[in-house]
Amino acid sequence: MRYKYNFLVIGLGYVGINLYYNLCKKYKNVYGLDTSKKKVGELNNNFDSTYQIKNLKSVKKKIFSSIKNIKFDYVFICVPTGIKNNKPDLNNIQDAFKKAGKLIKNNGVVVNESTVYPGLTRELALKYIEKKNFLLNKNYYIAFSPERISPGDKISYKNIKRIIAASNSHSQKLVSKLYNSILNFKVFQASSIETAEAVKILENSQRDLNIAMINEYNEVFRKSKLNTMEIINLASSKWNFYKVFPGLVGGQCIPIDPYYALKYAKDFKSQLSLTKLGRETNENIKNKVQNKILKIAKERKKILFIGVAYKKNTFDYKYSKIYEIMKFINKRKFQINFFDTKIKKILINKKFIFSKKSNEIKKFNNIILGNALNGAQINNILKKVNKNSNIINLSSKIIKNKNYKIKLEPFA
């Protein structure tokens, strides 16, 4: 790979910062572009708010909130692709492609890593990069590589197996070589960009649907007084059982990507009715839980949520179902408080609220334990809880101590 190539990563969040850092480790001219001035400031001060890169100091950074007058051989797009009213929200990715169109060199490659439905990378390139004298596979190339990183999971960036698809065999070779130069595994080749795009939405739709199924079975098992965890663990002794656990489905991908699949299917006059039902089932679980919380906490209007991240070992509350429940409860005039050892403040109703101190836990008589807490954390917290408090445990760790009033424990 030529050392003098210019690289640009657009969007330096969970996904982009890993790519940026690993490119910097290998190449000289690596630029980063992020619309958030706060993020740009933090990264230039060697602080990664996703807590993935500890050693940002070790690389020379060129990170900006806008870039003009420089052209790049490679532009990578790593911006959020969220939803609005359960439909793909393409504002960020459209803007990123517009930027790529302005900043890509002749013969350069635009690589999309943001999750999209099949066909969208090509569609956006033709809309925002292609010009009369700037044609795909003649003057520029495109590629898609789905990012599979999963915050909180132990697998490292370099060890994640990666899929590559590009607009022709020339760019396929270039992009594969580039990723191979920064990863521990050789990349997997997809036959088309659309195929690679489909891989990503299939992976996450499958996971969402499997969790929905377990959530549904869990409700039945609980009614019939059977232990879901025991059943799952025993079933897992069979070699081809797909092991997932019941619970709230949060995060940046699983509860979002199936909507991209649904939009795609609709374009082909298909329904993907199971995918739709799975999504609805997982959302309904959250709705049921929040309604039960309202009932249990009715007489005692102060609630303390403990552990607000969406998943174990993460620092992110934005995509957490606990956060959604907090906002829902807050609208019903309950006083919302939280305690978290990693998350210091949370935006509720346009105002930040700050984490309580651990010695304040005993003041609350409604305690909600978040799904991201592990057994050790729960045991620690229980020592600080007032024994008269109502406890709602949303984790998968059963609380066996009879001294506590466990009012609801839907997933343990």
Ligand X SMILES: NC(=O)c1ccc[n+]([C@@H]2O[C@H](COP(=O)([O-])OP(=O)(O)OC[C@H]3O[C@@H](n4cnc5c(N)ncnc54)[C@H](O)[C@@H]3O)[C@@H](O)[C@H]2O)c1
Q: Catalytic positions, please?
A: 253
CB atoms within 10 A of CB 45: 10
Identify whether the C-beta of residue 117 lies closer than 8 Å to the C-beta of residue 261.
yes
Tell me how far, at minimum, the Cβ of 334 lies from ligand X, in Å. Answer: 29
Cα dihedral 331→332→335→338 (10° resolution):
-60
Binding site for ligand X (CB under 6 A): 10-16, 33-36, 39, 78-81, 92, 95-96, 114-115, 147, 149-151, 252-253
Nearer to ligand X, 190 or 336 (CB): 190
Tell me how far, at minimum, the Cβ of 250 lies from ligand X, in Å. Answer: 11
Tell me how far, at minimum, the Cβ of 113 lies from ligand X, in Å. Answer: 6
CB atoms within 10 A of CB 54: 9
Query: With b meaning 16 or more CB within 10 Å and e meaning fewer, what string describes 330-353?
Result: eeeebebbbbbeebeebebeeeeb
Identify whether the C-beta of residue 321 lies closer than 8 Å to the C-beta of residue 248.
yes
CB within 8 Å of 238: residues ≥ 6 apart: none
Nearer to ligand X, 78 or 232 (CB): 78
> For 184, left (φ over 0), alpha (ψ -120 to 50), or beta?
alpha
Identify whether the C-beta of residue 100 lies closer than 8 Å to the C-beta of residue 92.
no
Tell me how far, at minimum, the Cβ of 112 lies from ligand X, in Å. Answer: 9
Identify whether the C-beta of residue 166 lies closer than 8 Å to the C-beta of residue 175.
yes
Nearer to ligand X, 18 or 365 (CB): 18
Tell me how far, at minimum, the Cβ of 205 lies from ligand X, in Å. Answer: 13
**Residue with the CB atom nearest ligand X in the bound state:** 13
Nearer to ligand X, 308 or 392 (CB): 308
Nearer to ligand X, 46 or 330 (CB): 46
R_g of the chain, CA atoms, integer Å: 23
DSSP labels, 202-213: HHHHHHHHHHHH
Nearer to ligand X, 148 or 397 (CB): 148
Tell me how far, at minimum, the Cβ of 82 lies from ligand X, in Å. Answer: 8
